[in-house]
Amino acid sequence: MIDFIRQFFLDLYEVAPRWNFIFFHDPVQWERVVEGFWVTLELSVACVIFSVLIGIVGAWAQGSPNRVLRAVVQGYIQFFRNTPPFVQLLFFYFALGQFTPTYSPDGWLEVPVITNVGWAIISLSFFAGAFNVEIFRSGIEAVPDSTKEAAEALGFNRLQTYIYIVFPLAFRVSLPALNNNLVNLVKTTTQALAIAVPELLYQFVGIWNDYPSAMYPSLTMVFLIYIGLVGILVFSMHRWEKAMRIPGYGL
């Protein structure tokens, strides 16, 4: 930490003890904040990637001629969309986690193959993926039938039509709604606190438990950091929307 920043917050603490930004003048607490930030970033990136992949595959399966496959996808959507993500997180970690295999790296302690971070990624990805399936489905339905028929007339099979024609157009149509869902997903990563994932909120709660005078500064920093993270995501998505603009297609 830069010396004048450390000294400024030390002086502030002496003048106003309730505003103890201890993470700016204590190297140990600063390391906790940095670790929490990186875990939040890794969690957000992993969940965004997996949820989008789930959405793409699920939207394709929803249009399948196989009735059983469509029913499975519909059941998945209803299950994850109609139950709270917090309950899903606890269910995955505490209930399903009991059935996952373990290993013993030192011969004494049994460690589960899927860690709490892994369960958080799985649970939150499936939750956001259910919404992404519906978002991509609405995008696919916005593609004119004449476009699909033209692809079939050129000899494309269903998978080729989906990959090369339908999905690129549907993806562009889906971007605004996808943007909203991904922003919501990044904010939902704070719920991983419940299964002791050392993300940003977990670290700040730990700091103000150890130093009660740091409660207000910790909450302020959590707000500011998430505003910054979400702002970067929204800005990037808007730039992406403009880059993928389709002239003459109404987008």
Helix (H, G, I), strand (E, B) or coil at 186: helix
What are the backbone dihedrals phi and psi of residue 111, each rounded to the nearest 5 degrees, phi first?
-115, 130
| Rounded CA Rg of the chain | 23
- Residues 114-121: contacts with CB under 8 Å, at least 24 apart: 116/192, 116/195, 116/196, 116/197, 117/39, 117/43, 117/192, 117/197, 119/89, 119/92, 119/93, 119/195, 120/43, 120/89, 120/93, 120/189, 120/192, 120/195, 120/197, 121/43, 121/46, 121/47, 121/50
- Quote the pLDDT of residue 31: 94
- Quote the pLDDT of residue 63: 82
The one-digit pLDDT tens for each residue of the chain (251 residues) are 677 888 888 888 888 888 889 989 889 999 999 999 999 999 999 999 999 999 999 998 988 889 999 999 999 999 998 999 999 999 999 999 888 888 887 777 888 889 999 999 999 999 999 999 999 999 888 888 888 888 888 888 888 888 888 888 888 889 889 999 999 999 999 999 999 999 999 999 999 999 999 999 999 999 999 999 999 999 998 898 888 877 766 65
- Quote the pLDDT of residue 1: 64
**pTM, whole model, 2 decimals?**
0.87
Helix (H, G, I), strand (E, B) or coil at 199: coil
CB 55 within 8 A of CB 139: no
User: What does each C-alpha distance from 37 to 33, 51, 64, 203, 216 come to in angstroms?
Assistant: 6, 21, 41, 9, 18
- Quote the pLDDT of residue 251: 59
Place of tokens 């709660």: 205
Q: Are strands 102-103 and 111-112 parallel, antiparallel or unpaired?
A: antiparallel
Q: What is the DSSP letter of 82?
A: S
What are the backbone dihedrals phi and psi of residue 180, each rounded to the nearest 5 degrees, phi first?
-60, -40
